[in-house]
Structure 1
């Protein structure tokens, strides 16, 4: 499949998706959101891929936000559709993908860009990254899940502070509050992210898929039951049989 605003590449068993709109600091427009969604469908269906990395082109920006000129004249109904459709076709899809998605945040991650990173399962950032949700400066609020995912990551108080103040925070502060997992130099960011992805790719695809589903239920009231059922279901699957056999035979498993 060909794309205009993104680049899909392969690194061992990892799909690397690069948002490639450097002229607009990789801002998310409707076409880019749709292309990202289609790329994720392609990756999800292809067993050669075991993990996904999402990053931005250039050295300044992961995603600098949404493309505001696309919705500046919307009314209520159109704006609700924009938020709902974006969440359904991309942001929720990332969170619930059957393969782990890692954000390599290489610069500005603002508004929809930070929401994109927060939808990913893991976030690595470069030292020059700046993260924030500036929507209230436009008389708006985050519309792609920011008000829901940020409190889960950093707590309600810090989420309120960041959303209400609209301030940007540096990468190191983002790590301190749990918004990103690790911080690296810009040169190290993608290699370190690929290293993590390729480590994950050596493990059981079915185990990881079930783990994603279980972790996503941790605050739903159904988390323990999801874990128990998933644990049981895995006992009938080939990955479990190979993993246990490899352990007993003192060899590396071949998933």
Structure 2
């Protein structure tokens, strides 16, 4: 495991969003957002760790005890307000690859180690210096980020039109698919910033929770959701995610072809009848694959 992925006992002070692991890996993915968390897993609050060393821009922490199987990935670029640059994207994908190798991991929370900031978007200073041939792959990799859980005080928006540019990293394509074309146009054209409550009403986030005094309401909700998901069958979760994500982009015949391919291999039918047998016999079990 790379040096920046060393396990640490340091609790994080964080503002969070989510991570989407690539399909087909050994680890199911989870999309989560958390806002300013002064403690993690019951630990007391500490000041966040800052460093100008590029290797310290990403930290990975594996939770233990009742939260075993949950990984917290922290972004730490305070001077750049956690803007995404090539080095950060590279480290994120290296982190994801390492996490995928750990079959005990069920859920991932991507967070910020910088109080008051989750991510300022792409690092425009760096992008201005990039050759045109580099921009496409960079944007493609950066598209992995998406928001699901928010505090009601969180602020979010695609405000690039204020700079006379359009949203990058697939923003013009992803937002209409989430909240509809008309509303997406309105938000982007007006460079509007919305809070967590408005975002939930639009369908931009799944949950909007009332902020608490310690500022970690969204994190606690994210952790609660991770605890709900962790006991479930990891292969079933991965395939359900694959079916949902790809299913809305293709026609039904393609979806059923994929289903039948799985059943031809035997895995689908075996799992189906095993599940029915457990339901009927009411046997106790622990899902590991």
Which TM-score tier does this pair reach, normalised by the shorter chain? 0.7 to 0.9
Q: Would you say 1:2 and 2:27 are equivalent positions?
A: no
Q: Is 1:212 matched up with 2:241?
A: yes
How far apart are residue 82 of structure 1 and its match?
1.7
Structure 1 residues 85 and 64: CA distance shift in structure 2, 3 A: closer
* Highest RCO, 1 vs 2 (Cα 8 Å, sep ≥ 6): 2
Structure number with bigger Rg: 2
Structure with the largest fraction of strand:
1
Distance in 2, matches of 1:151 and 1:245, equals 42
Contact 1:33 1:86 in 2 (8 A): no
Counterpart of 2:100?
A: 44
Judging by fraction of residues, say which structure has more helix. 1
State the TM-score, normalized to the length of structure 1.
0.78
Correspondences of 1:37-186 after superposition (within 5 Å): 37-74=93-130, 78-79=131-132, 81-87=134-140, 89-91=141-143, 94=144, 116-118=145-147, 123-184=148-209, 185=211, 186=215
Partners in 1 of 2:120 and 2:285 — Cα distance? 41
- What is the CA distance between 1:23 and its match in structure 2? 3.1
**Structure 1: which 5+ residue stretches go unaligned?**
95-115
Q: How many residues align?
A: 224
Distance (Å, rounded) in 2 between the aligned partners of 1:45 and 1:27: 27
Specify the SS of the correspondent of 2:203.
Answer: coil
Q: Report the CA distance between 1:228 and its aligned residue.
A: 5.8
**1:65 to partner: Cα distance:** 1.6
Q: CA deviation at 1:175?
A: 0.5
Please, what is the CA RMSD of the aligned residues? 2.3
1:145 Cα shift?
Answer: 0.8
Contact 2:156 2:195 in 1 (8 A): yes
**CA distance in 2 between partners of 1:55 and 1:224 (Å):** 38
1:147 to partner: Cα distance: 0.7
Partner SS state of residue 248, structure 2: coil
